Structures are given as structure tokens and as C-alpha cells.
Amino acid sequence: MANTLFHIAYKAQPDGLQDANTQHKPKFIAKKQQIIANKMDHSLSDNHTAPSTTMSKSSLYWFRRDLRLEDNHALQQALAAGHPVQCVFIFDTNVLVSLPSSDRRLGFIWHSLLEIRDLLRAAGGDLWCETGEPQAIIPRLAIQLDADTVYANEDYEPYARQRDQGIAAILSAQGKELRQCKDQVIFAKDELLTGGGKPFTVFTPYCNAWLKRLTPYHSQSREVPPLAGRLRAPAGVPAMPNLIELGFTQVEPCLLRPGMSGAAELLADFCQQRIQRYHEQRDYPAVKGVSYLSTHLRFGTVSIRQLVQFACFDGSEGAACWLKELIWREFYQQLLWHFPEVAEHSFKPQYRDLAYPNRQDWLESWQKGLSGYPLIDAAMRQLNQTGYMHNRLRMVAASFLVKDLLIDWRLGERYFAEKLLDFDLASNNGGWQWAASTGCDAQPYFRIFNPVAQSQKFDPAGRFIRRYLPELAQLDDQAIHAPWLAKQLPDGFVLGRDYPTPIVDHAVQRQQALALFGRQ
């Protein structure tokens, strides 16, 4: 994300499609811009008119996708540098204007910030929050608070790189510095390259190199010194805007408990109860088998080093399997760093101009969970209702959109980007390009998930389907995977009325997909 809490790269629509979600955007965006403009005017007049000449020197620590006060590399560096530290967060209007006012992620961020603010206050400081463009705010704050150095953790998304380059240049012209630290990954940028000095584009050799290079140093905590006595006194700190002031309506915390405390609770639960069986249970969406930590990783309410330490310390088969998933995350991060163009189009050039038919009505059925394929529909309703989707289902739902409905993967990627609490450009893009066979180390195009077989294998008793499709709850364990094939359906249940008939025939669509991809 941009700020970089989350940056949804709204791209040009692939040919022939109008996204239903964009229909209300212009009016909404105008309203959001007005709210944000008012807020900015207000905060400018309140607090930020003239640089103070009487204030003593300070350092700035700028929170982005690292919303925690523990094991935080740049914060550690800022606090160790000697000057009183002012912690800053910016609600980035470049990002906010594109988000629907009900966006759940704002609630997660806001509550996570509140936790941080309270801890900073308890230690004698405060959190300085502003709304606007970081490119304008950070250099101004550096002058206003007499800070020679702005500390931040690195962010590898294209928007963030551009933003940070711009800010670094402005600060440099002011005789100041943006100092960035590696924090959200174990290995970044060029730290892991092939023997030939090139970026890895295949996961297994990357994973082997990652594991070989890992030493205790890499996962060692970047201990944050005690805050008390090291924070700038809270003079002139603007009030933190609430969600309504920011133009968002979702005031309740999302289902997931936010903040460092939420992450710690989930991690303890996972490490005490499930990590050792992760390899056996992780593919079954009805089972509580995975960690559910992705949103915390995304917003940095938990440290990747801490997770790697846990996995290595545990040492079980389950922990090794889980560590590999964390390495997939890093694989996609380094891929986006080396090949930022994947954010716009297929990694494999031969799939850049595929003539997807892109049927709008099929896209909408998929989005709403009304395709007539129960596992796909349950997955999409889980996404719509909770902002989360199980990994197995992300793979199956993505494959279904591209290979059964013949819709451009970028439209599915974009829908996930709008809905997922854990949306992360690198992982989402990587996952979509994997499923669509357009990515670097992707599923071969001729391997096409059968949505019914996947359902029978990974939700054999239909427990997950029943949870999200109550209209199918009465169907038996056979019929629930493919109601249109059932010899008998429950009395009173009418297929086509109570639940849709399938919008496509998988066998037919499979052949179409093979033909579409095979032509390249």
C-alpha cells in the first residue's frame, strides 16, 4: 500500500470491461477529496503554520507498514541516535481517495495506531498524525521539528519507492536525510541473487539459497530501547483524526483484533496449538490450521524476524513448512523489486496480449459468490464477508476466474486488492500470476484446477461450504460439491431458484482455456 500501508494500484481496465465498482467512484471520490481537503486546511491552521525556532533538535520516525514499537529496525536506529524522537504517521491522501468509505483496512490501521499512540503517551511522547501528501508533509515537519534525520523502514512497492526517492531528494536539498532500514523482510533487494548475479525467478532455488544464507543474525530482533526519556515532549501534536473525519464509515474494529496485541495473541495461539500440524492441516479451509497472521505481517504489527525465530526454534515439520510460506512472501517481494513491471502486466511476455473474452456478467457472478460452483462461491463470500480468504481457496478461485471464466487475471487481482485485509501488492500479484500461469514460476497453463474435485478433496464433508452458503446446508456430503449432478436434492430445494445453476461447464471451459493459452 502506498503510505505504504496499502496501495491499490488502480490500473487501466483490460479491454472490454467496466468494473461495477467504479460506477460510483467519481462522486464518492469527489466527496472524499473534499473531506480530506477540509481536514488538511484545519490541521494546517491549527498546528503547522510556522517552523518553530525555539524547539530543540529532534529525529523523526515515520511509521508506514511497520505499525509496532517492538523489534523495529528504523525505530531502533532513531532512538539510538540521541535526539528526542517524534513518531509520525501520515494518512496518505494519494491512497485514501481511491478507497471505498467502508474499507475495513482503515479500521485495522486506525486501531493499531491508537494502541501505539497510547503506548507513546505512557512513555511521555505522542503520535503525530497528519492527513495529506507525505511528499509535502515530511519535509515540512523535518523543518518544523528541527530534525536532521527522518528514519523509516524500507518499502519495496513501486509507489513507495517513487515517493521515498522524492522525499529523500527534498530532504537532501534541505541539508537533511531520509535514512531507511530493512525491516519487513529477512533478505531484500540484491541480497540474494543466483550464482550468475541475476534475480531468482524460480522459487525452489531461491528458497534453498534463502535457507542457506540464514544465520541467527538475520532473524535477531532489532531491540527497541526503552521509550521513556527518548521521545520528544508532546508539544503541538495534532489530534489524531477519527475514521469519520477521514471519510470512512467503518468505525468498528474488523473481525481480526488489530495492533501488536492482536498479533501477539494470534501468534501465541498458532505456536502453542497448531504450528506442528501446519503441514497436515493448512490446505483445509474448514480447519483452523493456518496462522491468520497475514494482515499483521502486511501492516507490520508483527515482525518477520520474530516469526522466523519461532519457526526455527520450533523445528518441527509443520514449522519448516510454514517457514517456506514466509519465504514465498519474500520471493514475491524480491520479484516486485527486480521486476516492478509485473504490477501492470504478465511476467511472461507471451501472455501479455491474450484475448480474454472478459464477460462482465460472469465477473460479477464470481465476485458475488453466485457462480453455481459451491466451493468457489463459499470462497468469494468468505472474502466479501470477512476480508480474508484461505490460501487453497485463493488458488482455486483465481484459477476459476482465469481458466473457467476466461477473464483477465488483473481484474481478479484488482478485486482481491479491494477486499483483502491482508492485501499486499507483491503477494497478491504473485499469487494471481501463479494461478493464471502468466508468472515466472507459475502453474503450467495446462494444469487447470477442477473446482468440484478441489471441493471433494479439500472440503470433503462440505463444512466450509455450509458455513458460507447456508442455502446448501441441507444437501448431503456428495451433492454439496456439485448440486446440479445430484440424483436427489432435499425436498423443497430448487436449483436455479435457491442456488444458481453453474454459469459455465468446467469441461467445456477447460478446452477453451487450453486453446486460448496454447495459441501463444
Residue numbers annotated as active site: 325, 328, 362, 391, 409, 432
Residue 87: CA count within 13 A, CB half-sphere: 30
Residue 108: name the closest of 240, 3, 252 by CA.
252
Tell me whether residue 29 or residue 214 sits nearer to ligand FAD (CB atom).
214
Q: What is the residue whose three cell numbers read 481457496?
A: 393
Full DSSP string of 379-427: HHHHHHHHS---HHHHHHHHHIIIIIS---HHHHHHHHHHH-TT--HHH
All three cell numbers of 160, joined, read: 513507495
Cell numbers given for 168: 529523500
**Nearest to ligand FAD by Cβ — which residue?**
431
Closest distance to ligand FAD from the beta carbon of 398 (Å): 4
- 70 contact partners, CB below 8 Å, separation of at least 6: 221, 224, 260, 303
Residues 275 and 423: their CA atoms lie apart, in Å, by 23
Q: Which is closer to ligand FAD, CB of 126 or CB of 183?
A: 183
Do residues 33 and 131 lie in contact, with contact meaning Cβ atoms separated by under 8 Å? no
Q: Which is nearer to ligand FAD, 32 or 282 (CB)?
A: 282
Choose between 129 and 185: whose C-beta lies nearer to ligand FAD: 185
Helices (H), 148-246: 158-173, 203-213, 216-219
Closer CB to ligand FAD, 248 or 322, in the complex: 322
* Residue where the block lists cell 509507489: 159
Taking the complex as a whole, the smallest distance from the CB of residue 501 to ligand FAD amounts, in Å, to: 26
Could you tell me whether strands 147-153 and 58-63 are parallel, antiparallel, or unpaired per DSSP bridges? Answer: parallel
Burial class (CB in 10 A: 0-12, 13-18, 19+), 121: middle
* 128 vs 373, beta carbon nearer ligand FAD: 373
**C-alpha dihedral over 502, 507, 508, 512, to 10 degrees?**
120
Q: How far is the CB of 389 from ligand FAD (least distance, A)?
A: 7
User: Which positions touch ligand FAD (CB under 6 A)?
Assistant: 282, 290-294, 297-298, 322, 325-326, 328-329, 332, 391, 394-395, 398, 416, 420, 422-424, 427-428, 430-432, 435
To the nearest whole angstrom, how small is the minimum distance from the Cβ of residue 394 to ligand FAD? Answer: 4
Could you tell me the strand order of the sheet in which 147-153 lies?
Answer: 127-132, 85-92, 58-63, 147-153, 177-181
